[in-house]
Protein backbone atom coordinates (compact mmCIF):
# COMPACT_ATOMS: atom_id res chain seq x y z
CA UNK A 1 0.00 0.00 0.00
CA UNK A 2 1.36 3.43 -0.98
CA UNK A 3 1.39 6.32 1.54
CA UNK A 4 -1.08 9.17 0.95
CA UNK A 5 0.55 12.09 -0.86
CA UNK A 6 -1.17 15.44 -1.44
CA UNK A 7 0.54 18.43 -3.02
CA UNK A 8 -1.05 21.88 -3.28
CA UNK A 9 0.73 24.86 -4.86
CA UNK A 10 -0.37 28.48 -5.04
CA UNK A 11 1.08 31.06 -7.44
CA UNK A 12 4.68 32.15 -6.70
CA UNK A 13 5.40 29.20 -4.43
CA UNK A 14 4.20 30.96 -1.28
CA UNK A 15 2.10 28.09 -0.01
CA UNK A 16 2.98 24.47 -0.47
CA UNK A 17 1.71 21.55 1.54
CA UNK A 18 3.22 18.15 1.08
CA UNK A 19 1.35 15.55 3.10
CA UNK A 20 2.70 12.07 3.37
CA UNK A 21 3.20 9.54 6.07
CA UNK A 22 6.36 11.50 7.01
CA UNK A 23 5.94 15.31 7.06
CA UNK A 24 4.14 18.53 6.16
CA UNK A 25 6.45 21.16 4.66
CA UNK A 26 5.57 24.79 5.30
CA UNK A 27 7.31 28.14 4.91
CA UNK A 28 8.68 28.33 8.47
CA UNK A 29 10.27 31.77 7.89
CA UNK A 30 7.03 33.67 7.25
CA UNK A 31 6.78 36.69 9.62
CA UNK A 32 9.74 35.53 11.73
CA UNK A 33 12.34 37.97 13.13
CA UNK A 34 15.08 39.04 10.72
CA UNK A 35 18.39 40.73 11.51
CA UNK A 36 20.52 42.57 8.95
CA UNK A 37 24.27 43.21 9.22
CA UNK A 38 23.55 46.91 8.61
CA UNK A 39 20.48 49.06 8.06
CA UNK A 40 20.06 51.11 4.89
CA UNK A 41 18.92 54.74 5.28
CA UNK A 42 17.26 54.51 8.69
CA UNK A 43 15.23 51.43 7.88
CA UNK A 44 13.23 52.58 4.86
CA UNK A 45 13.54 48.98 3.59
CA UNK A 46 12.96 47.05 6.83
CA UNK A 47 14.27 43.56 7.48
CA UNK A 48 10.71 42.28 7.91
CA UNK A 49 10.17 42.76 4.15
CA UNK A 50 12.30 39.64 3.56
CA UNK A 51 9.68 37.36 5.17
CA UNK A 52 6.36 39.17 4.62
CA UNK A 53 5.13 37.06 1.70
CA UNK A 54 5.37 39.88 -0.87
CA UNK A 55 7.62 39.99 -3.92
CA UNK A 56 6.78 43.65 -4.55
CA UNK A 57 9.06 45.02 -1.79
CA UNK A 58 12.49 44.17 -0.44
CA UNK A 59 14.89 44.58 2.44
CA UNK A 60 18.20 46.41 2.05
CA UNK A 61 21.53 46.56 3.87
CA UNK A 62 23.98 49.44 3.69
CA UNK A 63 26.94 49.10 1.38
CA UNK A 64 29.60 46.89 2.99
CA UNK A 65 32.09 44.11 2.20
CA UNK A 66 30.13 40.97 3.26
CA UNK A 67 26.52 41.93 4.08
CA UNK A 68 24.26 39.31 5.68
CA UNK A 69 20.66 38.63 6.61
CA UNK A 70 19.69 36.18 9.37
CA UNK A 71 16.22 34.72 10.06
CA UNK A 72 15.36 33.42 13.53
CA UNK A 73 12.85 30.61 12.99
CA UNK A 74 12.07 30.69 16.75
CA UNK A 75 12.37 26.92 17.01
CA UNK A 76 14.22 23.94 15.60
CA UNK A 77 13.24 22.78 12.13
CA UNK A 78 14.38 20.21 9.60
CA UNK A 79 15.16 22.43 6.63
CA UNK A 80 14.59 20.97 3.16
CA UNK A 81 14.59 23.91 0.75
CA UNK A 82 15.43 27.61 0.89
CA UNK A 83 14.17 29.94 -1.84
CA UNK A 84 15.50 33.44 -2.35
CA UNK A 85 13.81 35.87 -4.73
CA UNK A 86 15.80 38.69 -6.32
CA UNK A 87 14.25 42.12 -6.65
CA UNK A 88 11.98 42.47 -9.69
CA UNK A 89 13.21 45.97 -10.57
CA UNK A 90 16.43 46.96 -12.34
CA UNK A 91 18.49 46.07 -9.23
CA UNK A 92 17.92 42.30 -9.17
CA UNK A 93 21.58 41.92 -10.18
CA UNK A 94 22.64 43.08 -6.67
CA UNK A 95 21.98 39.51 -5.49
CA UNK A 96 25.18 37.61 -6.24
CA UNK A 97 27.74 35.26 -4.67
CA UNK A 98 25.47 34.32 -1.76
CA UNK A 99 26.20 31.56 0.76
CA UNK A 100 23.21 30.12 2.60
CA UNK A 101 23.88 28.54 5.98
CA UNK A 102 21.68 26.96 8.66
CA UNK A 103 22.48 26.55 12.34
CA UNK A 104 21.17 25.61 15.75
CA UNK A 105 22.86 28.78 17.01
CA UNK A 106 24.43 31.79 15.29
CA UNK A 107 27.99 30.70 16.12
CA UNK A 108 27.90 27.33 14.36
CA UNK A 109 26.28 27.46 10.94
CA UNK A 110 26.39 24.63 8.39
CA UNK A 111 26.60 25.22 4.66
CA UNK A 112 23.38 24.66 2.73
CA UNK A 113 24.23 26.10 -0.68
CA UNK A 114 25.84 28.81 -2.80
CA UNK A 115 24.50 31.00 -5.59
CA UNK A 116 27.13 32.55 -7.85
CA UNK A 117 24.89 35.06 -9.65
CA UNK A 118 24.41 37.85 -10.63
CA UNK A 119 20.68 37.27 -10.40
CA UNK A 120 18.30 38.65 -12.99
CA UNK A 121 15.11 40.61 -12.30
CA UNK A 122 12.82 38.60 -10.04
CA UNK A 123 14.91 35.42 -10.25
CA UNK A 124 13.94 32.54 -7.95
CA UNK A 125 16.99 30.85 -6.46
CA UNK A 126 16.34 27.44 -4.86
CA UNK A 127 18.78 25.68 -2.54
CA UNK A 128 18.07 22.13 -1.41
CA UNK A 129 19.80 21.61 1.92
CA UNK A 130 21.66 18.37 2.68
CA UNK A 131 19.56 15.58 4.18
CA UNK A 132 18.82 16.06 7.90
CA UNK A 133 19.76 19.74 8.01
CA UNK A 134 18.36 21.01 11.31
CA UNK A 135 18.48 24.55 12.63
CA UNK A 136 16.87 27.58 14.19
CA UNK A 137 18.74 30.20 12.15
CA UNK A 138 19.07 30.70 8.39
CA UNK A 139 21.63 33.14 7.07
CA UNK A 140 22.31 34.60 3.62
CA UNK A 141 25.65 36.35 3.09
CA UNK A 142 27.36 37.85 0.07
CA UNK A 143 30.85 36.33 0.12
CA UNK A 144 32.58 38.03 -2.82
CA UNK A 145 33.33 41.61 -3.79
CA UNK A 146 34.57 44.68 -1.96
CA UNK A 147 31.39 46.72 -1.74
CA UNK A 148 27.92 45.15 -1.78
CA UNK A 149 24.28 45.66 -0.88
CA UNK A 150 22.13 42.67 0.11
CA UNK A 151 18.59 43.33 -1.12
CA UNK A 152 16.42 40.20 -1.48
CA UNK A 153 12.73 40.57 -2.21
CA UNK A 154 11.74 37.46 -0.24
CA UNK A 155 13.23 34.45 1.53
CA UNK A 156 11.21 31.25 1.97
CA UNK A 157 12.40 28.43 4.21
CA UNK A 158 10.57 25.13 3.68
CA UNK A 159 10.79 22.85 6.66
CA UNK A 160 9.21 20.70 9.35
CA UNK A 161 9.29 21.32 13.10
CA UNK A 162 11.90 19.12 14.74
CA UNK A 163 10.37 16.69 17.22
CA UNK A 164 12.58 16.42 20.28
C-alpha dihedral over 151, 99, 93, 57, to 10 degrees? -30
| 19 falls within a domain | no
Give 113-149 pLDDT, tens digit per residue.
999 989 999 999 999 999 999 999 999 999 999 999 9
List the beta bridge partners of residue 8: 17
CATH code for the domain of 122: 2.60.120.260
pLDDT digits (tens, 9 = 90+) for 53-91: 999 999 999 999 999 999 999 999 999 999 999 999 999
> Rounded to an integer, what distance in angstroms lies between the CA atom of residue 93 and that of residue 106?
28
Is residue 21 in a domain? no
Is 15 a domain residue?
Answer: no
pLDDT at 18 over 60: no
Q: Give 163's contacts (C-beta < 8 A, 6+ positions apart).
A: none
Report pTM.
0.86
Chain centroid offset of residue 41 CA: 23
User: Domain range holding 70?
Assistant: 28-161
Amino acid sequence: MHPLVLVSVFICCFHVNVISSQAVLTNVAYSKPVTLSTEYRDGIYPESNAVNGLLSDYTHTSQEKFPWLRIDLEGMFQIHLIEVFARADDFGYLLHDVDITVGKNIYYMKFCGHFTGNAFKGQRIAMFCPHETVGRYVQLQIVNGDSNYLTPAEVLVWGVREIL
